[in-house]
Chain A
Amino acid sequence: MSTSNVAKLVGQPGVVVHRRSGFRRRQELEGLLCILPWLIGFILFKFGPMMASLIIGMTQWDALQPPRWIGLGNFQTMITDPRWYNALYNTAYLSFLSVPAQLAVAFLFALMLNEKLRAMPLFRTIFYLPSQTPLVAAAFLWNWIYHPDFGLANVLLSAVGLPAQNWLFDLQLAKPSLILITLWSGIGVPMIIFLAGLQGVPQSLYDAASIDGAGPLARFRHITLPMVSPVIFFNLIIGIIASFQGFFTIVFLTTGGGPVYATLIYVLYIYLRAFQDFKMGYAAALAWVLLLIIMAMTAIQFVLARRWVYYEGGERT
């Protein structure tokens, strides 16, 4: 783009050709200057720490005394650490159940909102609103809703004649209770993205299919789903990564990882090891294992995506 820019300029009268290389070098310098603040930030706060994390992960370090090199020791500890398995299991449970559930609900909502009705902007705002509630505020709101004695959840249960529950403090119910929170607070953004995807499906496809005698279900199955599959894929990848961070705030402020480690999730475990036990080395190793898991998962999703994600105009993965 900018090369053609230069070429055009050079072709113009009044621009001396022998200055081209100087001009170009100046432009390159200016381009680097433009991205410099971002680049410094990227190196100092993203790439650098990522690599440093790996090195710290090979040490035993309380962040006060000098670190002690122990090679793969932290990773060996991990294999015999029952809490690590707890954290893995709980994170997998929460993310793999809550993200697909959120996406399913968000997709259903988007399908309904895609119908042409006058009040749609209002409904769209209502369903989007919960996602704008700061997670910290949402966590306290749900602490109150799940209050064993005076919470709204038990009030509603007793209204339909069901026994009161302990919600966040119940070993069996704690994780589903957390998922319910994300079904309230987590659907806004994917819903809007789905809606955009649905609105991008050309009407002509539906018209053509109708003429060929396709019913609403067939149109959904053979037009809507394939056309929005890239959006579903995008939401899935972003949603799972975001769920690690999102659950931290909610879990930290509601259950604190309890009861009996039932909601000890990976990010919380890293936080506790690093900033409560000051085991920086072990925590960094934990974080790197998480990174590897995420990379592997994303890669698997990309491979699987070839089977079900449809890209207009050929493969893009």
Chain B
Amino acid sequence: MSQEPAQERVIVAAGRTAAQRDAKRQAWAKTLILYGVLIVLSIVYLLPLYWMISTSLKQTGSEMVIPPQWIPNPIVWGNYSDVFAQVPVMLYIRNSVTVALTATLFGVLTASLAGYGFARVMFPGRNFLFACCIASLMLPEVVTLIPEFILFRRMGWVNSFLPLIVPAPSTRSSFAVFLFRQYCLTIPLELDEAARVDGAGTIRIWWTIILPLSKAVLATMAILSFTHHWNEFLRPLIYLGRPELRTLALGLRAFRGEYQLAWNYMMAVALIMLIPILVLFFLAQRQFVQGIVMTGIKG
């Protein structure tokens, strides 16, 4: 290299910078096109949500005009308080929260216990049962729906929240069991052993050592479970016949059907239903996405 004539070296250097400039320009063009495409797609994907928000703020009557008001005129924030006054939104929210919170608490506790058992404790039939747990992920809910309904009707639980809460350890949380097991496998075994030497039993190790170390994955499980129960429609439809028991998901249907609520009010209620989910999502976005990523693929 050092023996090269100086002139040649200069030419090589000049060629390199030209090529570099070309590559840089290409990278710029690529970035620009990419941004363009992404911005257009973002508008497409946000448009329905924008339509929902803007409709919810329109004066009754002005949601039904052609051409439509892209920006509501006037902006009627009062639609939201009107909705609470006109239909029993508050009652339905309370029902939804009751169901979703109890089912989540129950489901996350039992799923973490089971996940811990599958990951850490040796017992006969462990692998077989874990395979059952994974296989049950593939079982569509509708297959078990009818016997389950008959069982709960015989127990007199129809028209109560129990059919939505009691099956939480199995039907809703097989995925959570899997998630927690995968997570447990990453906790150093020495921690268990140290506790065991100190005389702690399996359950106590789970409660005092594993759970405090698993806050991130527990949060992911809780969010998944809460969202599921908050959004659930088919089971509430079957089990909650009495109007005062309706969850918000069921209530939405009643507002359009029984109450003949106008579209601006409907969109307001739909947004009210969306808000807790969005808050949860933004609170735990990073953890949540990572939680799915971590376990979603690596079987």
Q: Which residues of A come within 8 Å of B, CB atoms?
A: 1-3, 5-6, 8-9, 12, 27-35, 37-42, 44-50, 52-53, 56, 63, 109, 112, 115, 117, 119, 123, 125-127, 129-130, 132-137, 140-145, 147, 149-150, 152, 155, 184, 189, 192-193, 195-197, 200, 230-231, 234, 237, 241, 244-245, 248-249, 252-253, 267, 270-271, 274-275, 280, 283-284, 287-288, 290-291, 294, 298
> Is there an interface contact between B51 and A137, defined as CB atoms closer than 8 Å?
no
Other-chain residue from A2, A9, A136, A298 in contact with B121 (beta carbon distance below 8 A): A2
* Distance between Cα atoms of A266 and B132 in the complex (Å): 26
> Is there an interface contact between A35 and B129, defined as CB atoms closer than 8 Å?
yes
Q: List 6 A-B contacts (CB under 8 A).
A: A40-B170, A132-B281, A196-B296, A245-B140, A288-B143, A291-B140
Question: Nearest residue in A to B256 (C-beta to C-beta)?
Answer: A140
Given contact pairs A127-B41, A284-B146, A35 touches B233 in the complex (Cβ within 8 A): no
Size bracket of the B interface: 35 or more
Contact residues of B between 138 and 175, Cβ < 8 Å to A: 138-151, 153, 167-171, 173-174
B113 within 8 A of A: yes
Which residues of the partner chain B approach A109 to less than 8 Å between Cβ atoms? 41
Question: Nearest residue in A to B54 (C-beta to C-beta)?
Answer: A152
Number of A-B contacts (CB under 8 A): 283
> Is there an interface contact between B297 and A27, defined as CB atoms closer than 8 Å?
no
> Is there an interface contact between A40 and B169, defined as CB atoms closer than 8 Å?
yes
> Is there an interface contact between B293 and A193, defined as CB atoms closer than 8 Å?
yes
Which residues of the partner chain B approach A241 to less than 8 Å between Cβ atoms? 138, 140
Q: Which residues of B come within 8 Å of A, CB atoms?
A: 31, 34-35, 37-38, 41-42, 45-49, 51-52, 55, 63-68, 110-111, 113-114, 116-124, 126, 129, 132-133, 136, 138-151, 153, 167-171, 173-174, 177, 189, 192-193, 196-197, 201-203, 206, 227, 230-231, 233-234, 237-238, 249, 252-253, 256, 263, 266-267, 270-271, 273-274, 277-278, 281, 285, 289, 292-293, 296-297
* Distance between Cα atoms of A142 and B270 in the complex (Å): 11
> Is there an interface contact between B42 and A127, defined as CB atoms closer than 8 Å?
yes
* Distance between Cα atoms of A301 and B189 in the complex (Å): 38
